[in-house]
Amino acid sequence: MSSANDNAECLGWAARDPSGHLSPYKFSRRAIGSEDVSLDITHCGICYADVAWTRNKGGHSKYPLVPGECEYCNDGLEVHCSKGPVLTFDGIDVDGTVTKGGYSSYIVVHERYCFRVPDNYPLELAAPLLCAGITVYTPMIRHNMNQPGKTLGVIGLGGLGHLAVKFGKAFGLKVTVFSTSLSKKEEAVSRLGADNFVVSSDEQQMSALANSLDFIIDTASGDIPFDPYLSLLKTAGVLVLVGFPSEVKFSPVTLILGMKTVSGSVTGGTKQTQEMLNFCALHKIYPEIEVVPIQYSNEALERMIKKDVKYRFVIDIANSLKCRVQTYYYILWSRDYISPLAWS
Give the pLDDT band of residue 99 (cuts 50, 70, 90): very high
Predicted TM-score (pTM) of this structure = 0.87
pLDDT at residue 76 in the model: 65
> Using alpha carbons only, how large is the chain's radius of gyration in Å?
20
pLDDT at residue 270 in the model: 87
Question: Which whole number is the average pLDDT over 123-150?
Answer: 95
Q: Which CATH number is correct for 9-122+286-342, 3.40.630.40, 3.30.465.10, 3.90.180.10, 1.10.10.10?
A: 3.90.180.10
pLDDT for residue 332 is more than 60? no
CA 1, CA 38: separation in Å to the nearest integer? 7
CB 335 within 8 A of CB 133: no
pLDDT at residue 268 in the model: 87
With a CB cutoff of 8 Å and minimum separation 6, the contacts of 314 are: 43, 44, 45, 46, 124, 125, 127, 128, 289, 290, 291, 292
Per-domain residue ranges of the chain: 9-122+286-342, 135-264
Which one-letter amino acid corresponds to residue 285? Answer: I
Q: What is the pLDDT of residues 104-135, one digit of tens each?
A: 999 998 888 888 999 999 999 999 999 999 99
Report the percentage of the chain scoring pLDDT > 70: 88
Give the pLDDT band of residue 334 (cuts 50, 70, 90): very low
How far is C-alpha 190 from the geometric centre of its chain's CA atoms?
A: 24
pLDDT for residue 56 is more than 50? yes
CB 226 within 8 A of CB 239: yes
Mean pLDDT of the chain: 88
Q: Is 9-122+286-342's fold the same as 135-264's?
A: no
With a CB cutoff of 8 Å and minimum separation 6, the contacts of 183 are: none
Which one-letter amino acid corresponds to residue 238? Answer: V
CATH topology of domain 135-264: Rossmann fold (3.40.50)
Question: Which whole number is the average pLDDT over 242-268?
Answer: 91
CA 182, CA 190: separation in Å to the nearest integer? 14
Which one has a higher pLDDT value, 321 or 26?
Answer: 26
Q: How many CB atoms lie within 10 A of CB 283?
A: 13
Question: Which whole number is the average pLDDT over 320-324?
Answer: 68
